[in-house]
Structure 1
Amino acid sequence: MRAWVAVLVDVVCVLVFVGIGRATHDEALSLGGYLGTAWPFLVALGVGWAVTQAWKRAERIWPTGVVVWVVTVALGMVLRAVSGQGTDPAFVVVATLFLGAVLLGWRGLFVGLRQRR
């Protein structure tokens, strides 16, 4: 898989998470609000990619996907906290589960489909 496709899929996963969360909590549908919520996770996703050098084997669940997921959630929460955004325990759990499902899920689907060929 090409790295640009994999990073695009990861970014879309984070943006979908943010969109669902904002819609669930009746947040305003403003671009500024959306980006304000998304930036900590997008920055953290980028750090996860850098730490794992994901561009080499982005589709791997282990270690690439797991490390990208953990860094995205953990650093995303730290960045939210230092920027004055909430990190309620329930939000941390939901973010961890949702981002784990999508960031690892697409990788699992990709690997499974590739093995079937």
Structure 2
Amino acid sequence: MTRTWSWLAAVVDIVLIVAFALIGRSSHAEATSVVGLWTTAYPFLAGWAVGFLVVRGWTRPLRLWPTGVVVWVATVAVGMLLRVLTGQGDVAGDPLPLSFVLVATISLAVFLLGWRAIVGPVVARSGRRGRGRA
């Protein structure tokens, strides 16, 4: 069961990060080409991969702590670092506008932690009920 959830968790996380990039691009009236979307999303996807590997997210994919929190923090931190290093998002000479950091941090928290906060307890509860019947 954990193996199935680890794949599903990875897919859900990746889809939500891409959705975050797509929403950001559309809110700034930027083209939604595949290349443009990739350019915006890949720093955060790289951060997600780092976090998922560091916390070994496949072992407890639905846990808020440590999996969700570590994945979220790494997604934001590495994503921001890569954006600065690649010159993305420079606004009037500011390579990392505070407003973007705040919006990205909150949005990614809602996305990456929110679904775990809902699904994790439901799956845990149904697992306990299933074991009680066996």
TM-score w.r.t. the length of structure 2 is: 0.83
Structure 1 runs (4+) deviating above 3 angstroms are none
Larger CA Rg, structure 1 vs 2:
2
Report the counterpart of residue 21 of structure 1 in structure 2.
24
How do 1:10-89 and structure 2 match up within 5 A? Answer: 10-86=13-89, 87-89=96-98
Between the aligned partners of 1:114 and 1:50, the Cα distance in structure 2 is: 23
The percentage of aligned residue pairs carrying the same residue is 48
1:95 paired residue among 98, 101, 104: 104
The RMSD of aligned alpha carbons is 1.1
CA contact (8 A) 2:20 2:108 kept: yes
Report the counterpart of residue 109 of structure 1 in structure 2.
118
Q: Which amino acid aligns with 2:122?
A: L
For structure 1, the 5+ residue unaligned runs are none
Paired positions, count: 117
Q: Larger relative contact order (C-alpha < 8 A, sep ≥ 6)?
A: 1
SS of 1:35's partner is: helix
User: In the TM superposition, what whole-angstrom CA distance separates every residue of 1:44-83 from its partner, at most 9, and x where no partner exists?
Assistant: 1000000000011110000110010001001100000000
Between the aligned partners of 1:47 and 1:115, the Cα distance in structure 2 is: 26
For structure 2, the 5+ residue unaligned runs are 90-95, 127-134
TM-score w.r.t. the length of structure 1 is: 0.95
CA gap 1:10/1:32 in 2 versus in 1, 3 angstroms: same
Between the aligned partners of 2:119 and 2:50, the Cα distance in structure 1 is: 23
